[in-house]
Structure 1
Amino acid sequence: MTTAPAPAPSGVPSTDADPFSHDVLEDPLPLHARLRDAGPVVYLTRYDVYAFARHEQVHAALTDWQGFESGAGVGLSNFRHEKPWRPPSLLLEADPPRHDAPRRVLSGILGARALRRLREQWAGAAEELVAQVLAGGTTELDAVPALAQAFPLRVFPDAVGLPPEGREHLLPYGDHAFNAFGPSNDLVAKGAPRVAELSAWVNARCARGELAPDGFGARIWEAADRGEITYEQAPLVVRSLLTAGVDTTVHGLGAVLYAFATHPEQWARLRAEPRLARVAFDEAVRWESPVQTFFRTATTEVALPGGVVVPAGCKILMFLAAANRDPRRWADPDAFDLSRDPSGHVGFGMGIHQCVGQHVARLEAEALLTALARRVETIELAGPTRRHHNNTLRAWESLPVRLAR
């Protein structure tokens, strides 16, 4: 549901386009191009918010946490005036100093030492999964459940320390959490009947007694023992892992598998140069942007090029996906190209709030893509694809592919 369109501020390009409509969620690229071409800032009359779609402004807003706060919520709702549907994230929806200790703890837990420990283990798990799906020569399968969902749901909850039972709750919980960053539309309503059930399950899994003693979750609680965070903060930090650590990686893997299925020459290059697996994942994150948008709130008046001033207290919708295909930043931005250096994309955010688990996601992708490249000669689409609509995420519901050995 939306309110009546607000009058556009004088001197600011405006549009009544709805970035959360199903037409745009199905194909956001035309709107992104119009927003970039309109100027450095555009006013969205439907939601009474300002929008940044060019890389320069999105990058600047992401890195300026003092001027563009996250503590008022990274969705359309303004936590200064509206009660959030759950306690805000200490990582995503908090600013310094409240943000600092939880971020520092989680950064250490998900750092280089953890990745070294997991590399061999996840490589083996990827080999096992690929062997299972390739049980007989040329194989047709839906890459979303068989690969993009199956691998993260297998290895990441293990790393956190979750028991095997109930992991299927993580995807619908994350789907609703990311839908809730948008307006109260039909996508939010779709998830509402299960919110209480899914939230209760996730919250229960954050308790110390539910977590294996050698996982990320247990290490978060150990940080509380050392006084690095409080015991009240510990379950909220674990919850951040469970909320944002699965869906985003699932959709990133879906993006890179789709990219290779539609760009056979790039798949051939990866097979010849397996070291490009991480570059491929980052290029797919830039190209498809699994996380399409996030909001910030202006803490003061912000002057932009052209004399436009964003008033204090206003919400700003940052189009990460539009920034990632901005021709002002990228040469041939609509191409998926392993010869590109994709560093500088904003698909994982930027600044102090950038995705704390991005290196974990890259390791998952590297393991799966390396295992596939070792055994799969070609990947091609094997039928009609279907998008999964979400207010924040760019996702696939179904991605039929043919894998030939």
Structure 2
Amino acid sequence: MTLAAQTGAPVDEADPFGPEILSDPIPFHARLRDAGPVVYLSRYDVFALGRHEQVHDALADWQAFQSGAGVGLSNFRTEKPWRPPSLLLEADPPHHDAPRRVLSTILGPRALRRLRERWIADAERLVDEVLDRTTEFDAVAALAETFPLRVFPDAVGLGAEGRENLLPYGNLLFNAFGPHNDLVAEGMPRMGELSGWVNAQCEREALAPAGFGADIWAAADRGEITPDQAPLVVRSLLSAGVDTTVNGLAAALHAFATHPDQWTRLRDRPELARAAFDEAVRWESPVQTFFRTTTREVELAGTRIPDGHKVLMFLGSANRDPRRWGPDADAFDLGRDPSGHVGFGMGLHQCVGQHVARLEAEAVLHALVRRVRTIELAGEPCRKLNNTMRMWGSLPLRVGLQ
């Protein structure tokens, strides 16, 4: 008897990491949700969750669905990780607690209040640089990549040289959460170089005397984390703090370019900028998938999932589940309350830097509202495929100025 038959789960033979589904996952997500709350993906021998209720519950239940065995397809119980696991993303209590507590304090409201005025001014300067030069531009290169690469590494305390390595490193990292397909193979030749560069930036001597990185090392000096943990916590910031914001910001700009009425709405009410970013994260879900591993036999929505088995949570599918968001779940709508989306995760492992990302996006959107009357596509956007992230490779925009 097959595993699917034993557990009672419907079976899908599709490859969710194939180029066709990565290019346009929405039809597959709808099929997955309609098939049932838990679906067995035979190609990878994993159980898939596509509905909001089950994804939310699995994310929140770290005791039954652990992160410590890896949040990718690889099972750290039986496979050696290609790099030391993240102390935040790939660890559970008690190992997860101290690093999470330190980073939550460092990235807390006081730090964001200090950064807010500076980042808003930086965003206005960048938008002025772009719009004083042209009203047609690639929004990925000009804004979505440039702004996070300017302000976030500065806040961490990185030097100016080499920070462009953060994007290909992040691309490699998020690809590695999937199977060893062509996307992973494409990045392998630079793995040693990029990993070595990132690891070097995490050492105390490489960081500015003031910044998030220095604050992490100061926490080690106080005994809140160990000296061995400090560079790994810095690495967690650099691994997850840039690509997610880049792609969330690109998602927001694409949403407004394809929904001009919503841009008018934001221009009329700029205070909606932060909620608009959350709606864009819900609508596009820059982080599409994450895995968990069962710590025991688990019954979820009537399906028995064996101990030690990988469970693939489709965050992008959950964020468009009409069972949670209603019949207009596929619409980008600033009138919606997007709270409860799982684009930043949920529960204990919810993204610790999500408020930093919101502040970056809010700064850019406010700067654009100040000068831009209309936004539209100036050409066909181009996707960049990644096993975990939903990305734009290019996003040609045309704007009309105030």
TM-score (norm 2): 0.98
The one-letter amino acid paired with 1:347 is G
Hey, what's the Cα distance between the residues in 2 that align with 1:66 and 1:297?
A: 10
Match of 2:122 in 1: 125
Match of 1:83 in 2: 80
The one-letter amino acid paired with 2:207 is L
Deviations 1:119-140, CA, capped at 9 Å, x for gaps? 000000000000001115x610
Give the 5 Å matches for 1:219-368. Answer: 219-305=215-301, 307-331=302-326, 332-368=328-364
Pairwise CA distance, 1:370:
0.3
Q: Does structure 2 retain, via aligned residues, the 8 Å contact 1:74–1:295?
A: yes
Q: Does structure 2 retain, via aligned residues, the 8 Å contact 1:163–1:211?
A: yes
The one-letter amino acid paired with 1:162 is L
Q: Aligned with 2:30: secondary structure?
A: helix
Match of 1:50 in 2: 47
Pairwise CA distance, 1:384:
1.1
Hey, what's the Cα distance between the residues in 2 that align with 1:308 and 1:162?
A: 47
Hey, what's the Cα distance between the residues in 1 that align with 2:99 and 2:162?
A: 26
Pairwise CA distance, 1:141:
0.3
Match status 1:157 vs 2:146: no
Match of 2:18 in 1: 21
Match of 1:110 in 2: 107
The one of 167, 173, 196 equivalent to 2:169 is 173
Match of 2:191 in 1: 195
Hey, what's the Cα distance between the residues in 2 that align with 1:62 and 1:90?
A: 17
Q: Aligned with 2:184: secondary structure?
A: helix
Hey, what's the Cα distance between the residues in 1 that align with 2:295 and 2:3?
A: 22
Match of 1:60 in 2: 57
Range with greater deviation from structure 2 (7-16 or 314-323): 7-16
Q: Does structure 2 retain, via aligned residues, the 8 Å contact 1:40–1:53?
A: yes
Deviations 1:76-120, CA, capped at 9 Å, x for gaps? 000000000000000000000000000000000000000000000
Hey, what's the Cα distance between the residues in 1 that align with 2:26 and 2:132?
A: 38
Q: Aligned with 2:322: secondary structure?
A: coil
The one of 369, 374, 378 equivalent to 1:378 is 374
Gaps of 5+ in 1: 1-5
Q: Aligned with 1:377: secondary structure?
A: strand
TM-score (norm 1): 0.97
% of aligned pairs identical?
74
Hey, what's the Cα distance between the residues in 1 that align with 2:101 and 2:170?
A: 23
Hey, what's the Cα distance between the residues in 2 that align with 1:203 and 1:112?
A: 28
Hey, what's the Cα distance between the residues in 2 that align with 1:235 and 1:308?
A: 41
Deviations 1:181-207, CA, capped at 9 Å, x for gaps? 000000000000000000010000000
Pairwise CA distance, 1:404:
1.2
Match of 1:101 in 2: 98
Count of residue pairs brought into register by the alignment? 398
Match status 1:142 vs 2:142: no
Q: Aligned with 1:359: secondary structure?
A: helix
Pairwise CA distance, 1:260:
0.2
Deviations 1:127-177, CA, capped at 9 Å, x for gaps? 0000001115x6100000000000000000000000000011000000000
Deviations 1:280-308, CA, capped at 9 Å, x for gaps? 00000000000000000011111122x32
Q: Does structure 2 retain, via aligned residues, the 8 Å contact 1:91–1:102?
A: yes
The one-letter amino acid paired with 1:321 is G
Gaps of 5+ in 2: none
| Structure 1 stretches of at least 4 aligned residues deviating more than 6 Å after TM superposition | none
Q: Does structure 2 retain, via aligned residues, the 8 Å contact 1:223–1:229?
A: yes
Hey, what's the Cα distance between the residues in 2 that align with 1:384 and 1:34?
A: 27
Q: Aligned with 1:397: secondary structure?
A: strand
Deviations 1:47-83, CA, capped at 9 Å, x for gaps? 0000000000000000000000000000000000000
Hey, what's the Cα distance between the residues in 2 that align with 1:40 and 1:333?
A: 18
Pairwise CA distance, 1:7:
5.9
Q: Does structure 2 retain, via aligned residues, the 8 Å contact 1:7–1:45?
A: no
Hey, what's the Cα distance between the residues in 1 that align with 2:5 and 2:294?
A: 16
Deviations 1:253-289, CA, capped at 9 Å, x for gaps? 0000000000000000101100000000000000000
Deviations 1:311-363, CA, capped at 9 Å, x for gaps? 11100000000000000000210000000000000000000101000000000
Hey, what's the Cα distance between the residues in 2 that align with 1:172 and 1:34?
A: 32
Hey, what's the Cα distance between the residues in 2 that align with 1:214 and 1:117?
A: 13
Pairwise CA distance, 1:8:
3.1
The one-letter amino acid paired with 2:143 is L
Hey, what's the Cα distance between the residues in 1 that align with 2:265 and 2:388?
A: 32
Hey, what's the Cα distance between the residues in 2 that align with 1:384 and 1:134?
A: 21
The one-letter amino acid paired with 2:75 is N
Pairwise CA distance, 1:34:
0.5
